[in-house]
Structure 1
Amino acid sequence: MPLLQLILVALIQGITEFLPVSSSGHLILLPSLTGYTDQGQVIDVAVHIGTLAAVVIYFWRDVRMGLAGLTCLACGRNDTEGSRLALGLIIATIPTVLFGAFLHFTGFSDALRSPAVIGWTMLVFGVVLYVADQRGAEVKTAADWGLRDALIMGLWQMIALIPGTSRSGITITGARQLGYKREDGARIAMLMSIPTIIASGVLLGTEVALEANLELMRDAGIAAVLAMFSALAALTLMMRLLHSVSFTPYVIYRVILGLVLLGYAYTG
């Protein structure tokens, strides 16, 4: 695979995975806009591993607490902050896993990979994010996250399997609708990405394992590292900006890109 394509795929995945603008939508559009062939599932898995590493590094304290909580859950205890976090993440992931398996094995996931679908989801869910962000109260913190909110945000996250929706964007929308402060809602949304990315990687990884060869594995390694560093940079910037900036700039970007894609889809 050309080095430039690897760099573009890694940067797009890394920068857009945690920003509310849809990484999958941008990756699907890349071949259409550049003339490159589709990068394939091996590279997709690799860049997801890179972004997984980034969120684990950035939120390591929460990740370590959640891992300790899994041990408590295994022993039948749910009386620690870590065990409540771990159980919440498990519950929030279940709807996405079930819906993702349905889309994957029925073939509907491929049918949704079109500029028109991405254009509509970019536009519609951008507006939904704006409304939730502007009207949502800011009365809850991450410490208030319970099982009910975990399930509700998990149902929001499920919708992100439609390309262009944005996993982080839709879960942040759910968090703001529930009344979480911007930074706390984003933090929960990022932590929810960890089991979701792992589940996606396991599903895709088992299917592409036989495709791998030495050259492809080298390309995958390069893409994973580049995606990790770009994701760390994007995640750090967004979390810092949330102290003083709303999600409106991302909404404006989504609306503009959505309109452009709809124009391309229906007139091109």
Structure 2
Amino acid sequence: MRIEDFSNTLIRNADGIYVASESRNVSYPTEGHMDCFQVEDRSFWFKHRNECIGAMISRHPFDGALFDIGGGNGYVSQMLAERGFDVALVEPGYAGALNAHKQRGLPQVISSTVEDANFAPQSIDAMGMFDVVEHIEGDRAFLEKMAPLLKTGGRLYLTVPCHGWLWSRADIDAGHFRRHTERSLQVLLEGLFEIDYLSYFFGPLVLPQVLFRAIPFRLGLGRKAVLSTEAEHGAKSGPVVGLLNKLLAREASKIRRGEQLRFGASCLLAAHRI
């Protein structure tokens, strides 16, 4: 892959990262990349999400290269690259882009919003947006801009947090605008993409999120999320994390077989451009 084949305005800087001349702000905490980077490799949450994303893509593959939009520190991109996929990471936050390139060894990293990267129309084979669109206030307008960048039939892969009744301080702190449902995702993509696969996942986390996030938030208990980033993502081992890993492994197996789960704290989907 040559980034120059997709955009003629991006410039590779001294760090080896492609940058745009300007890049707009995004709804994501400035310290978020470093907080996540410290726990990603030890976290059952990030590991399970990767397993489910990988399983979904293996059943609904793409040809060519995937652009991981808002890919953070490159945790998903690294997994896909290790599985033999051609991947470029697009991350507005420079700290995340630097971690992806220098720490995770990803060769093709762009520090820019996808709008400012100025990709050519119908140049991209596939896009991944893994826990990204909930950070975009005008998500439908954003996808209307993204769709023309994909080739006809090009793939879109998404993961999003689900259910408004799970809304909590954690969503506000993360810069979320909404949580989705199967129906809201169908409406969001209508007329732009055809959904090939959609499933809930993270079912075992629904009750903990209700008890430790949603209920305390509704009761007005505290100004900050109840759980730390490390605790919330299961970066420490223990019997509870061990049990969750066993339960989540069953989810991953079902997604690997192409089954659709009807319950969970998040959704993932594969679609193609109409």
Asked whether the two chains share a fold, i.e. TM above 0.5, the reply is no
The TM-score with structure 1 as length reference comes to 0.30
Q: Which fold has the larger relative contact order, with Cα–Cα distance below 8 Å and residues 6 or more apart in sequence?
A: 1
The TM-score with structure 2 as length reference comes to 0.29
Structure with the bigger percentage of strand: 2
Structure with the bigger percentage of helix: 1
